Structure 1
Amino acid sequence: MSENKSGAFLGGVVIGTAIGAVTGLLVAPRPGKETRQFLRKSADALPEIVEDLATSLQLQTGRLSEASQRRWEDTLGRLREAIAAGQEASQRQYDDLVAQEEAPTSDYDN
């Protein structure tokens, strides 16, 4: 799974968990007082959950950034190699043309 897809998956899991928890609370056969206590505890835990999610997203973003940087460096290296190879081939072709022009002509060519 690519890093971008794993980040999206992680976000989907967190959102799905939150939706499931809210739905469970609304459907659960608990008395109102217990439900309110549970909601209060859940609300108290929410900042920690958000902080964990933010940390996970930062890690995913960092990994994606590192992967992009590596791909860019690889591409740049291949581009440099291609340019160098093209320059060498051009120089060889030029040297061959110069050598042909400097080669002595035989009497039969005139």
Structure 2
Amino acid sequence: MSNRAQLVTTFTHTVFAAGLALVAAGAAADSPRRMSIGAGLTLGSLPFVVGSQVRRHHSLARDEAEQLRQEGYRLGLDHVARGLLVGPPLPAAADRAQPAVRHLPTVPPCPA
């Protein structure tokens, strides 16, 4: 079963191809009228062809993003189940005596 977007895509690509075929047939038969009709069909269907390709690209990107999100969730659950997500070890008593923050020396002001 085809949905509306697939039917529109098929129709616009068919019209685009028919326009190109008319341009080629008009050039071969030296028929400017046939070439003009083909060029009109081709240029008229071009925005719809581009629009359908953009819509298709966005739907693929959306599906891929959802798949990556699910894979990350699964990987996180696996890490929790295996005990890989544990906090950092507590510092020893000797380490706690030293300050955790290292202060930088002040910089003299720039001469004006």
TM-score, normalised on structure 1? 0.51
Instruction: Name the residue aligned to 1:45.
Output: 41
More helix by share: 1
Query: Among residues 48, 69, 76, which one is paired with 1:73 in the alignment?
Result: 69
- Percent identity of equivalent pairs: 11
- Residue correspondences, number: 74
Structure 2, unaligned runs of 5 or more = 1-9, 87-112
AA at the equivalent of 1:24: A
Letter of the structure 1 residue corresponding to residue 55 of structure 2: L
Whole-angstrom distance in 1 between the partners of 2:36 and 2:19: 15
Equivalent residue number for residue 95 of structure 1: none
Provide the C-alpha distance between the structure 2 equivalents of 1:58 and 1:80, rounded to a whole number of angstroms: 33
Partner of 1:24: 25
Structure with higher RCO (Cα < 8 A, 6+ apart): 1
TM-score normalised by L of structure 2 = 0.50
Counterpart of 2:81 in structure 1: which amino acid?
A
Structure 1 gap ranges (5+): 1-9, 91-110
How far residue 45 of structure 1 moved from its aligned partner, in angstroms, is: 2.9
